[in-house]
Structure 1
């Protein structure tokens, strides 16, 4: 079992992670990049009694957990040594109310006795100021106020308030309902209201899943990944965060502890691409609105690699003094200095998802010629920077190079703009972008191709392989994306040669490194999960379906009990590391399942 056994809940406004004891150990208020009111996950082994919300069963002997089918509603069953049992139902309300989506900054929990005479206690210890102090409390007749940094949360409950404050055990003789949300008087009977919210929230998610175009095989894995990807969207703005957490290290004690609660243009591109394959156009439409605002605010078309979920540009990185870190492995970082890096692939990752809006008649808003003119500003930057050094998609902090992946993304931007111009009848613009795409391709083929001549490398007559950088010889896993981006055909000898070279250099058993050279923190110690999925896709496209399916099944076996993956994995032990749940990794599940699954037609 991975130590990262966590169960996400959320409503696209607020989210939380529940651990294997049923405790809420991570949750930020008032949104995903806010103050971690529930921060026990990062308080280290000695700090688990603060920054948590859990229900403890007296003389407890077992815990089982599951999601309600096709929802992010979590059901945790606690059993005691005398046969007593309770169920804890966790969810964040989300449903249509008064002709709009009701998704409050709130956590709802229902505790029901299901066997025997169970005795429970409630431990509710939210914190304020990034783990600096316990939130001060004030008490009402049926509620408790928690004064969190810049916010006040109110717990409304039909449980005895004194028992909650005193953390006292008592017999649970009927269902008890807890709603921790805005500091507002709760309208109506708490039991009736929460039971109604639970039903409506379940109905919302089941109807959303019903609209997904899932593959025949691995449906449960795809559905769980899709639900969780949707939870990673901040619906108010349309931003999609890379993960719900910060500072879970990529490897033990590595100092590779980064804050992923922001919208990386790259990660969001892959997310909407995967959900688009399933027909989840609601996520795409909201993200396109977010992109239009990013493009409008861009100075001269220049795009940052990442933005705050609000669309804000500045994301100052700092280390939290009051949190020890995941399993005591600090530092805990808030913010991410990568926002001021130069990463030239982001221009292509703005253009590629935006192109669909010009031709997809299902969308509520079809893009216009004015939108195309605005998008061309981003394309101009892709054209200007296609052969310029950058930090690359792996965000190297101390050196730059002309990265092949960035250049291929620039080529893709020019190529897709030419396609859109043709669709809009703008023949002169199409010709310009087509010519630019050809020039970028010529530069890539001249400068990124590495000649190899030796008995240990059978390149099928290709003469070498593509390298990670212009003029270089080293490899990275992003080269496997050249076929996905339509730069190469899968049967092109250059593609096969590069696949062979990348596997030889970076494959570790059933896993893939992103690169094998030293970076700012030394040699990589763990595999990068999305790179393993890229390998699976590349093997499938090259006709090696048996091996691709074997590796895919192996990756599915490494998922948590909640059916999810983090960013990284120890390629020897299979232990998960890195921020969780990682959108990149969930994208890999969806894409590979779609490509490797049998056809519905075959089954029927």
Structure 2
């Protein structure tokens, strides 16, 4: 089997309409254009032999690599250290505007900072997941790869006297080359999508100007953060990562920029996450507002409102789809790429997402809660917005008491999931509050009646007397870490004995060395073979729950331990395997959202109790 880098051995760059992954050995092995959910141009991450790549690294000899982000930016620097010299590849994508475009630029600057170095360049695109043929045209200033539906142009960043520095050639349709540099010299390439030329001369000064513009954008954007807590650098990186996964033309946030990265190496839990979940978008509003990014929160709120409006126009208020494409369309037909082997042999490789049509009742609570939080930050809905909210709440009031697939998108059949009921309670509760606080009209008496019925049903059927804990669904005693949000949304108080007993039960069953599983699939079959790792979102939610319950020593140690599982750039995938390896789609928005929420909650509680965490108290948290 070909070599695959670890999932964590990547950095992310992007232009707010699409993104690329760059490995620590200088390889772009995942890049889709013109959007996150478009077919791939480079996909070696899912098939090293047939997926396509864009690699720049030392041409010969052993080398050591280091990777970092240029401070406060999404500009990625990969450093190569050899006996002959030190070189760098600086990768970035100039930020696009708020208008969707087919043309995107990926700039790769190559420089020698000490000694001398010859870089090997290998450009091997494979359009449409390797299903579209193309022709290659090479000139002295670059190359064009042209297929029936897709085209890419690569411009050489060069100086007039480069004949002795760089050489290129075509081999089996791919472009290969070498760049020989001495200390202080810089060259590079700019890949441009959506165009079949013309290739043009591009000078180093022009590329340097694009670099400075890109850094200026990210530094300026980050200055909008209001977070000044204990983990500022960590949260800044999470905020930049979330921004990189935002589609600027609509404000939609993808769950991850990747598809089919496995939750278990060699397993079948391989899903396409390049879409916008109502749940993720809703959670994003809390996190972004918590850091002061009101424009992004407002854009997500508008995206959610548009989805509600569309559903109201179609069928009177619901049900919503659980996920959409970044442009708001809902065709997410799932198919399998039979010709790709998958990451480290993890097949099937799925694109599209068949879970899009599942019924997941929790999304209504998350959407309404985010609108309520936005309202408290001055982003109140107008009259038409309120009418749509009323229609949505009327649907929830009439449909909450039915089996569903649940938050984890299980494929083992519908159940009466406690978390889904919990979030229906949240939806109705937030609607009632909005009506009261703004004097808005609506069938509040009905909403109150149904809200109270949901509450009573959860207490009667969602509580397991034998486990002394709230359970995953009414037909099982299995625990579910989604319920860590019960005190966060106000359904129970953090000190309620029923909640503390639930938290203790989760400690016993779902927590291992501070890492948290979603649930036990062996005890609660989810319709899929194999197992999975601990879920990073749930670990950060666990921190928030511990902090709220006053278990601050344990909360802080858990948080600090979890920070050690980040990759070298501070990025997180979906899950962590037993070995500590990051698995699942990468980076995952949900994880970075939960990290921000946990840090803010922990900061708040530590400020209230400043003695916690001092000498002699943290050890007790272990």
**TM > 0.5:** yes
C-alpha distance in structure 2 between counterparts of 1:522 and 1:332, whole Å: 15
- For residues 103 and 69 of structure 1, do their structure 2 counterparts lie closer, same or farther at Cα, with a shift above 3 Å needed? farther
CA contact (8 A) 1:12 1:232 kept: yes
Give the alignment's TM-score, normalised by structure 1.
0.91
Please, which runs of 5 or more residues in structure 1 have no aligned partner? 458-463
The answer to whether 1:529 aligns with 2:536 is: yes
**Secondary structure at the counterpart of residue 130 of structure 2:** coil
What is aligned with 2:579? 573
**Secondary structure at the counterpart of residue 40 of structure 1:** coil
Deviates more, 1:429-438 or 1:285-294: 429-438
CA contact (8 A) 2:411 2:528 kept: no
Shift of 1:13: 0.8
C-alpha distance in structure 2 between counterparts of 1:382 and 1:555, whole Å: 36
- For residues 439 and 190 of structure 1, do their structure 2 counterparts lie closer, same or farther at Cα, with a shift above 3 Å needed? farther
C-alpha distance in structure 2 between counterparts of 1:101 and 1:115, whole Å: 41
**Secondary structure at the counterpart of residue 169 of structure 1:** strand
Equivalent residue runs for 1:73-472 within 5 Å? 73-82=75-84, 84-94=85-95, 105-132=104-131, 135-147=134-146, 150-159=149-158, 163=168, 165=170, 167-172=176-181, 174-182=185-193, 183=195, 189-298=202-311, 299-301=315-317, 302-361=319-378, 363=379, 366-426=380-440, 429-452=443-466, 464-472=468-476
- For residues 356 and 65 of structure 1, do their structure 2 counterparts lie closer, same or farther at Cα, with a shift above 3 Å needed? same
**Which among 55, 60, 63 is matched to residue 61 of structure 1?**
63
CA contact (8 A) 1:29 1:105 kept: yes
Shift of 1:196: 1.4
C-alpha distance in structure 2 between counterparts of 1:243 and 1:188, whole Å: 35
What is aligned with 1:461? none
**Secondary structure at the counterpart of residue 314 of structure 1:** coil
Give CA deviations for 1:517-567 in whole Å, capped at 9, x if unaligned: 232124634211111112221111111111111111111101111111111
- For residues 400 and 240 of structure 1, do their structure 2 counterparts lie closer, same or farther at Cα, with a shift above 3 Å needed? same
Shift of 1:164: 5.8
Moved over 6 A (4+): 99-103, 600-603
C-alpha distance in structure 2 between counterparts of 1:101 and 1:600, whole Å: 46
Shift of 1:446: 2.1
**Secondary structure at the counterpart of residue 109 of structure 1:** strand
- Cα RMSD after superposing both structures: 2.6
Give CA deviations for 1:264-321 in whole Å, capped at 9, x if unaligned: 1112222232122111122212212221221122133220111111211121111112
What is aligned with 2:36? 32
Equivalent residue runs for 1:474-485 within 5 Å? 474-485=478-489
What is aligned with 2:502? 498
Give the alignment's TM-score, normalised by structure 2.
0.88
C-alpha distance in structure 1 between counterparts of 2:233 and 2:531, whole Å: 32
**Secondary structure at the counterpart of residue 119 of structure 1:** strand
C-alpha distance in structure 1 between counterparts of 2:484 and 2:94, whole Å: 40
C-alpha distance in structure 2 between counterparts of 1:296 and 1:170, whole Å: 54
Shift of 1:514: 0.8
What is aligned with 2:72? 70
C-alpha distance in structure 1 between counterparts of 2:63 and 2:53, whole Å: 24
The answer to whether 1:41 aligns with 2:9 is: no
C-alpha distance in structure 2 between counterparts of 1:149 and 1:389, whole Å: 47
C-alpha distance in structure 2 between counterparts of 1:177 and 1:169, whole Å: 11
CA contact (8 A) 2:153 2:199 kept: no
Please, which runs of 5 or more residues in structure 2 have no aligned partner? 612-622
- For residues 472 and 111 of structure 1, do their structure 2 counterparts lie closer, same or farther at Cα, with a shift above 3 Å needed? same
Shift of 1:54: 2.5
Shift of 1:162: 5.3
CA contact (8 A) 1:94 1:102 kept: no
Shift of 1:155: 1.1
C-alpha distance in structure 2 between counterparts of 1:177 and 1:348, whole Å: 49
CA contact (8 A) 2:34 2:103 kept: no
C-alpha distance in structure 2 between counterparts of 1:223 and 1:474, whole Å: 37
The answer to whether 1:543 aligns with 2:550 is: yes
C-alpha distance in structure 2 between counterparts of 1:405 and 1:270, whole Å: 15
Shift of 1:263: 0.8
**Secondary structure at the counterpart of residue 382 of structure 1:** helix
**Secondary structure at the counterpart of residue 313 of structure 1:** coil
C-alpha distance in structure 2 between counterparts of 1:329 and 1:429, whole Å: 51
CA contact (8 A) 1:467 1:475 kept: yes
Shift of 1:8: 0.5
C-alpha distance in structure 2 between counterparts of 1:487 and 1:226, whole Å: 29
Shift of 1:473: 2.2
**Secondary structure at the counterpart of residue 107 of structure 1:** strand
